[in-house]
Structure 1
Amino acid sequence: MTVAQHHPGVSEHVGLLEPAAPARAPRRWTGPVRAVLLVLCGAAVGLWRTRDPDALNSIWAEDGQNFLTDALTRPWYEAIATPFNGYFHIVARVCWAVVALFPLEWAAALSAVLAAVLTAALALAVHAAARSRLPGTSAAVVGVAAAVPMGFTPNTLAQLQFPLVHAGLWMLLWAPSVRWQRIVATVVPALAVLNSMLGVLLVPFALLRLARRRDRDSLTKVLALVPGSVLQVVPMLLGTTERGLGEQPDHNPVSVAAMYLRWGVPRSFLGQAWLAPPHLDTQTHRALVLAGLLIPAGLLALAVLRRTAPDWELAATLAGFAAVAGAVQLAAHGAPEDRYLVLVTLPNMAAAVSLVSPRTVNSGRTPLVVLTTLLCVVCAANLRVASPRDGIPAWDGLVAQARAECHAQHRLTQVTVHIAQWPAIGWQAVLPCDRLR
């Protein structure tokens, strides 16, 4: 009796006693190659987001005045351990220590590429963590949004702290079984808190996870946050670090909550491009703000009415983190600033996605499709928005100017170049002449 007698269409020459064709084993290199390609594509899009001058020929304010200047004028270990504006940026400063090893002409391009690649790699890690909790399409939406975060000055190592903290949150929610993935899920939150005071916000969420799960993985992640938390908090409590950019904190919880609802929630679903000042048409602006509040309310109603299959725990964690991060930033600055939106928009978007998972494979996909379409349109509209980086001096011109000064004055040891001149704050970098002659 042949296989063909049981399964019509199969050749009658294939008998039961004949060995079946061996299954083709999956190639081990396809996964890493796919990951590298995704990161490179994400980095390319990220670099394209910076307007004139482009990302490869400009250096962001803090990156030049603080991180590059310190990397060029101080011993590497001292530069890495130097706080700025009240907290430490270990990851960013290590990156700048590496960039400083190369010719100064390369500094803008190297720092931008490094920031773009790291942002894309963090987005890939977010996608992997989301894939363990959400359907494939939902996880893809979360990952793509993380690759091109809204409310963000891209390609700056100084602002890498925001996608790094966001990825750290997802790593706390991830419980992978593969060893190297467990290492990544532990290291990323640890780096997030070493690089930003905002990383300390991960601690209560890590403790809640430990209280709920009571496993070794959760305990390891809590312990991994301790060194960075001590580094960020203890010097501030002792008064050895302080914020010094002239901010006016707002400690009124009602005022902060109102700002969050007017500013953070609408921009999470409509972006900053349509809501950023100046508001030439007040009525239209109010309508957009209202629409931005009604979108999550509608999604929540669908979930409560069981029109979708929500992950309530995930949605509550993400939305709760967005609210805490938004409140902390608003209270610290005293006013909303769109370039600090990442830790509000990305968790809120992911929380919304987790509310509209289809009830079955073949039905109930309409809410997810509608939300995905909206977020795609919004992300596209916010890819290349106006930012304080627009119009700053081109880096190659600044280096050429500094080199000419060093050659003209042989006794000169360093040159100060103005990388941005804004009404409130002027930013400048110090370039040693021994690196230019």
Structure 2
Amino acid sequence: MSVAAVIRSADGEARRDRRGRWSEAVFPAGPAVRVTWRGAVVAVVLVAAGTVLSLLRTQGHGAFDSIWAEDGNHFLNDALNSTTDRTLLKGLNGYFVLLPRMIAELPTVLPIGWAPAVMSTLAALVTCLFALFVYVASGAHLERPWLRFVVALPLVLGNVAGILTPNNIATLQFAAMYTTFWALMYVPTGRWTRLAAGGIVVLTGMTTILILAFVPLALARAWLRRDRWSYLLAGAVLLTTLVQGLSLVSGVNSREGLSTTRIDPLWAFLEWLLWGVPAAVLGESWMRSPRDPALHAVRMVIVYAVIAAAIVLAARRFTRPAWGLALFATVNSAAVLCLAMMGMGYPTDSYLVPDHLLQDTERYLMASAPMIIVALVALLRPREGASVRGWLPVALYTALVVATCAAHYRVVQPRNYVESWSVTVERARAECAARPDARSVEARYGGRIWYPWLMLPCEKVR
């Protein structure tokens, strides 16, 4: 063998070794999941408790007697007035939305008065199941159970997006996006965990066009690990992205009249940096713009002081940072929010849009903000056998996350002011009785705050 061939072979081995080290650092194999009776009972109890806590976030007439926004005039309306096959494949806002459409089918076979309770409960339950998956999937990166609990908590009792997302099936796509981030970071070792991870990726891809933001992550995993499962996940992300994109380009789905798309990466990045990141660190309730600009400036200083402290502690190896996880979480947090912001746009070309004018896009924070929490937990991960002093940074940050989630637990929501669904159904029943020949009647369920309505079949109320 020539000297040149030996050198090329050595270089190839070095590259493979380096890629292998990166692969193990960024995508470590997850621990084997052993299901025990005790573990199963604890999981069921926690999921049930999380579901109840989520349902209690809805005020007004409550989660069981109110329907908000697209949950009614799109998802429930289409499920009631069309066949299941046509409904499941019907897009909304420019893309397919499979998950909420699947959920909206169930109330059609139950008494119509149960519709809010069924949809709200399933929205809360699915969110808690997502959180359970995040808890399991984060095990390879965060060995301590309570650190995994910290990165799962924002799904159920998040410190952002509390105005529109709790117990709402339309916004489940954003919780699904965060869960998909973990599905792509996770290297499962069992059949059922692989099935769960793959199912989440495909379901999310067929529920939101934002899956496009995860194409680089999926490709990076495939390049680093080069195993069949990583190739399958990358293929699922690429295929569902292609399906969503072609449906939009071909006109099957449309965003016409919905938004003012603004392809301006600098604007979107600044909004992530100055709006998204602070909301993730101090919570949306504490970061709402006060009347005193000086107070807002102080809050911004606190936000970036927390981030700087985490970076310094990690760089000085006071902690045992998971640099790969922190990097990928930060980059994907920015990618998701920037893509969503540019897709929704803004009517003017101004920069640094005031926070209160971004309220229509605050639901996007549900997908982006938890990844900032992941990045900070990854930087503050304690060393093996660390003393109390070594655990103090992540313990303090955990307290901050819990406090910001508690502060955002029950906020003023538009759903608080919609009409009682029971009243809506009774009015529809009376109208159907007065019009024996009517097949359906308008059900205006949104009160004075949501004007669209759904068509309620008279056979469901007579």
TM-score by length of 2: 0.85
Does structure 1 residue 365 correspond to structure 2 residue 391?
yes
Structure 1 position 144, deviation (Å):
1.9
Larger Rg: 1
Name 2:228's counterpart in structure 1.
216
Structure 1 position 429, deviation (Å):
1.4
Name 2:126's counterpart in structure 1.
118
Does structure 1 residue 301 correspond to structure 2 residue 312?
yes
What's the CA shift string for 1:213-270, capped at 9, x where partnerless?
1011111212233442232111112233221454223222222222222210100011
Contact 1:421/1:427 (<8 A) preserved: no
Name 1:353's counterpart in structure 2.
377
What's the CA shift string for 1:106-152, capped at 9, x where partnerless?
00000001011100010000011112211312112112222223314
In 1, distance between residues paired with 2:275 and 2:115?
Answer: 35
Alignment of 1:196-215 (within 5 A): 196-215=208-227
Displaced runs of 4 or more, over 6 A: none
Name 2:268's counterpart in structure 1.
256
Structure 1 position 29, deviation (Å):
2.3
Q: Describe the SS at the equivalent of 2:96.
A: coil
What amino acid does structure 2 have at the position aligned with 1:427? P
Identity level (%) = 31
Alignment of 1:52-63 (within 5 A): 52-63=60-71
What's the CA shift string for 1:187-237, capped at 9, x where partnerless?
111111111111232222111101011011111212233442232111112
Q: Which moved more, 1:144-153 or 1:378-387?
A: 144-153
Name 2:76's counterpart in structure 1.
68
Structure 1 position 271, deviation (Å):
1.1
In 2, distance between residues paired with 1:275 and 1:245?
Answer: 31
In 2, distance between residues paired with 1:192 and 1:350?
Answer: 20
May I ask how many residue pairs the two structures share in their alignment? 410
What's the CA shift string for 1:267-323, capped at 9, x where partnerless?
00111112235x322221232233223322221122112221100001111111100
In 2, distance between residues paired with 1:144 and 1:419?
Answer: 32
Contact 1:65/1:427 (<8 A) preserved: yes
Name 1:327's counterpart in structure 2.
338
Does structure 1 residue 432 correspond to structure 2 residue 432?
no
Name 1:402's counterpart in structure 2.
428
Structure 1 position 167, deviation (Å):
0.7
> Cα 1:434–1:77, aligned 2, differ >3 Å: closer, same or farther?
same
In 2, distance between residues paired with 1:360 and 1:238?
Answer: 54
Contact 1:187/1:224 (<8 A) preserved: no
Does structure 1 residue 192 correspond to structure 2 residue 217?
no
Contact 2:310/2:379 (<8 A) preserved: yes
Name 2:52's counterpart in structure 1.
44
In 2, distance between residues paired with 1:368 and 1:180?
Answer: 32
Contact 2:93/2:258 (<8 A) preserved: no
Q: Which moved more, 1:217-226 or 1:305-314?
A: 217-226
In 1, distance between residues paired with 2:316 and 2:452?
Answer: 53
Name 1:275's counterpart in structure 2.
287
In 2, distance between residues paired with 1:131 and 1:51?
Answer: 35
What amino acid does structure 2 have at the position aligned with 1:148? L
Q: Which moved more, 1:405-414 or 1:197-206?
A: 197-206
In 1, distance between residues paired with 2:107 and 2:194?
Answer: 29
In 2, distance between residues paired with 1:340 and 1:421?
Answer: 25
Contact 2:151/2:374 (<8 A) preserved: yes
Contact 1:151/1:271 (<8 A) preserved: no
Q: Describe the SS at the equivalent of 2:90.
A: coil
Alignment of 1:13-28 (within 5 A): 28=36
Structure 1 position 360, deviation (Å):
3.0
In 1, distance between residues paired with 2:64 and 2:315?
Answer: 48
Alignment of 1:65-144 (within 5 A): 65-136=73-144, 137-144=146-153
Structure 1 position 338, deviation (Å):
1.8
What amino acid does structure 2 have at the position aligned with 1:370? L
In 1, distance between residues paired with 2:279 and 2:36?
Answer: 41
Unaligned 5+ segments in structure 1 are: 1-25
> Cα 1:417–1:332, aligned 2, differ >3 Å: closer, same or farther?
same
Contact 1:414/1:432 (<8 A) preserved: yes
Name 2:362's counterpart in structure 1.
338
Contact 2:174/2:363 (<8 A) preserved: no
In 2, distance between residues paired with 1:219 and 1:264?
Answer: 32
Contact 1:190/1:224 (<8 A) preserved: yes
Q: Describe the SS at the equivalent of 2:455.
A: strand
Higher relative contact order (CA 8 A, sep 6+): 2
Contact 2:213/2:339 (<8 A) preserved: no
Structure 1 position 44, deviation (Å):
0.8
In 1, distance between residues paired with 2:423 and 2:293?
Answer: 41
